Amino acid sequence: MTRKPWRAGKDLSTVVENMEIGTGQRGDGRHAFVTREELVGLKLARRRTSGGASYALNPGIEIDSTLMTVDFPTKPLNFKATGGFGSVLLEWDMPNYRGHSLTEIWRGTEDDLADAVLVATTPGQVYGDPVDPGWSGFYWIRFVNAAGVKGPWNAEKGTQAQTQIGVKAIIVTLMLRAC
């Protein structure tokens, strides 16, 4: 199996490493980002004069249709929700299918998917959902591919999360107990 050039993670060293790979400062340069201006320089794209910073492929440039193959979204794996004081951190494994576009994040106060609401979409594998201190509820996620096809839910039952009560309330409680 080929090693992927990008590391998953949220810590500073991972972000720095990925930026260094993307800018060509680390590795052999095969995984460096290609800018829009580089595409213009290679005559693969052109700048549109009327659309601000808008770009378009040049006529005659064909995109290999095998590169545009989109698979049916897989079931999300290892979904977890961790409550903090005023937000819930949601994490899951990145999907391994061609054509992944985004992850839908649904939330409900009861463990009933029919009553849940869509709160966000993200292309990544982590999301911070701002909620009130002391909030309790459930989450579900599913992947959506580039064709807009929605895959299966991570689970029928919701993943429970609860945030802590506010810091002020904790201080007041401690002060009352001390009296």
**Residue with the larger pLDDT of the pair 60 and 72:** 72
Lookup result for tokens 């995984």: 31
Mean pLDDT of 26-39: 78
Strand partners, 20: none
pLDDT, greater one: 163 or 53: 163
Instruction: Indicate the domain borders of the chain.
Output: 12-61, 80-166
Across the range 131-139, mean pLDDT stands at 94
Percent of the chain with pLDDT over 70: 87
Q: What is the pLDDT of residues 64-100, one digit of tens each?
A: 666 668 899 999 999 999 999 889 999 999 999 988 9
Which pTM does this prediction carry? 0.61
Residues shown for the chain: 179
- Residue 103 pLDDT greater than 70, yes or no: yes
Q: Comparing 141 with 174, which gets the higher pLDDT?
A: 141
Would you state the pLDDT for residue 5?
Answer: 72
Identify the band that residue 16 occupies on the pLDDT scale cut at 50, 70 and 90.
confident
CA distances (Å), 145 to each of 44, 64, 90, 118, in order? 26, 18, 20, 17
* Beta bridge mates, 95: none
* Residue 65, pLDDT score: 60
User: Could you tell me how far CA 49 lies from the centroid of its own chain?
Assistant: 33
Homologous superfamily of the 80-166 domain (CATH):
Immunoglobulins (2.60.40.10)
Higher pLDDT, 156 or 62: 156
DSSP state letters, 96-151: -STTEEEEEEEEESSS-GGG-EEEEEESSSEEEEE--TT-EEEEEEEEEETT--EE
